[in-house]
């Protein structure tokens, strides 16, 4: 074995250890998040169909409002990781505090919008007359927890940037347990009904935010970082997050268009689409965990001025993404006859979903590359390019998806359009990664 090949093997092992150490806890924390909604649904579902329908509408609105601001986690991770790489922990935590203050400001703004408009929002989402009052009650109460939810996003970004994904995992698990216990106690023990479920979620989210703030504040005091809001720093966080907001909104638009097209295909198609979309989202958690590791690792390398290390880490993580995609695709093919019956016994829906699932399975290696390169460019702070690339992807996907009902092909064709969307994303991200323009070293981009 030559010295060069030995050095390559050592570098790969180092990268593998870093990826595993960050990705595995991140995956656990990501999976814990949807469990909140599942626990609420299981508890509220026993109150009645109207209450469960109201919860479905309100939680969709709530999750949409929160997911729009996921840049609070992504942008904060990249910015903090750069300063960690540069060896300035005080500035890293100060940067994180700016993100947390921005989260509080955005949370307060969202509350002022949601509280008075809750009935109208519920109506727009098509809640029935029996479900609407329950949806409005849940939305108004749970909206009070939005600042805490956004603080959780920003603080999670701080800890990821500090190369710590274990603490978010522990907080997520504790939050899930507390949420389930509070919901059961308030809904049935206190007899508050769906309002009890909303209050339980608010209390659990506030508890999670308090736990994160305790960890971040302790770190700030240890390293002498100021806790006071800094207008310039908050403004810089908002500017860094704006392109990622455009990226997120474009992606949400793609998913909404896909659902709207599926609805035009018929009841069986839209039902099968929801099943496939839930699986697609679950697979995304596994790939996103590696992407999160990429955000933290790439940011640290670039902050330390190690461009070559960033390139090598990017290359290794792409290999991980491809391998993970192949494994996940194989699992989907093997498990598809068992997976679909968990959601429906309708043979028409099952037969509609099966061929579309094959398309999803085959596309998983593409998804693996997309998620990893997305994480790499986020870690590099290359938000403007990500925004333009996603807008271009939206422009390609929209006409193709809208033509599916015209030319036929049903749900399988629609998921073919989704695969085209992921392929376009892969090409735009691959071209950027190959150009090297994302590699900007230093404590700030």
Cβ atoms of 241 and 72 closer than 8 Å = yes
DSSP classification of residue 383: H
- Angle at CA of residue 46, ends 43 and 49, nearest 5°: 115
Segments in 266-306 forming alpha helices (H): 267-303
Residue 52's pLDDT is 78
Tens-place pLDDT, residues 263-287: 788 877 877 887 788 788 878 888 8
Residue 377's pLDDT is 95
- Positions in the chain whose pLDDT score sits under 50: none
Residue 34's pLDDT is 67
What is the number of helices (H) and of strands (E) in the chain? 16, 0
The size of the chain, in residues, is 445
Q: How far is CA 73 from CA 8, 69, 213, 245, 382, in A?
A: 32, 8, 14, 11, 15
Cβ atoms of 440 and 302 closer than 8 Å = yes
Residue 28's pLDDT is 77
In 38-140, the DSSP E strands lie at none
Cβ atoms of 379 and 73 closer than 8 Å = no
Residue 126's pLDDT is 67
DSSP string, 187-219: IIIS--THHHHHHHHHHHHHHHHHHHHHHHHHH
CB atoms within 10 A of CB 196: 23
Tokens, residue 306: 């190690």
Residue 362's pLDDT is 94
CB-hemisphere CA count at 13 Å for 315? Answer: 11
């Amino acid at each position: 074995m030559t010295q060069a090949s030995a050095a390559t093997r050592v570098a790969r092992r180092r990268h593998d250890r870093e990826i595993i150490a960050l990705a595995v806890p991140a995956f656990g924390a990501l999976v814990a998040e949807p469990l909140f909604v599942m626990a609420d649904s299981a508890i509220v579902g026993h109150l009645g169909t109207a209450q469960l329908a109201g919860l479905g509408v309100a939680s969709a609105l709530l999750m949409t409002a929160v997911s729009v601001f996921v840049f609070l986690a992504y942008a904060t991770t990249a910015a903090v990781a750069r300063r960690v790489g540069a060896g300035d922990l005080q500035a890293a935590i100060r940067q994180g505090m700016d993100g947390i203050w921005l989260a509080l400001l955005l949370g307060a703004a969202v509350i002022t919008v949601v509280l008075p408009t809750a009935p109208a929002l519920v109506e727009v989402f098509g809640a029935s007359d029996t479900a609407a009052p329950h949806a409005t009650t849940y939305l108004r109460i749970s909206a009070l927890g939005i600042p805490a939810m956004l603080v959780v996003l920003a603080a999670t970004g701080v800890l990821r940037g500090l190369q710590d994904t274990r603490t978010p995992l522990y907080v997520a698990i504790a939050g899930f347990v507390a949420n389930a216990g509070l919901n059961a106690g308030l809904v049935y023990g206190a007899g508050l009904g769906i309002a009890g479920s909303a209050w339980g979620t608010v209390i659990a989210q506030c508890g999670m935010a308090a736990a994160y703030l305790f960890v971040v504040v302790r770190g700030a005091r240890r390293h002498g970082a100021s806790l006071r809001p800094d207008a310039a720093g908050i403004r810089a966080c908002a500017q860094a997050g704006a392109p990622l907001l455009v990226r997120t909104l474009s992606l949400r638009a793609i998913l909404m268009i896909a659902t709207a097209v599926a609805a035009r295909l018929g009841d069986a198609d839209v039902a099968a689409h929801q099943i496939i979309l839930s699986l697609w989202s679950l697979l995304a958690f596994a790939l996103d965990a590696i992407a999160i590791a990429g955000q933290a690792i790439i940011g640290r390398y670039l902050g330390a001025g190690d461009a070559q290390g960033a390139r090598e880490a990017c290359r290794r993580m792409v290999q991980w993404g491809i391998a993970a995609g192949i494994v996940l695709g194989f699992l989907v093919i093997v498990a598809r006859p068992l997976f679909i019956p968990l959601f429906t016994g309708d043979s028409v829906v099952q037969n509609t979903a099966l061929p579309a699932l094959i398309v999803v399975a085959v596309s998983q290696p593409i998804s693996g590359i997309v998620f990893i390169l997305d994480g790499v460019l986020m870690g590099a702070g290359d938000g403007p390019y990500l925004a333009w690339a996603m807008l271009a992807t939206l422009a390609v996907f929209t006409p193709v998806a809208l033509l599916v009902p015209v030319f036929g092909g049903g749900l399988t064709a629609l998921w073919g359009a989704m695969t085209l969307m992921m392929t376009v994303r892969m090409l735009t991200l691959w071209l950027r990664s190959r150009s090297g323009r994302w590699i900007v070293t230093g404590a700030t981009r």
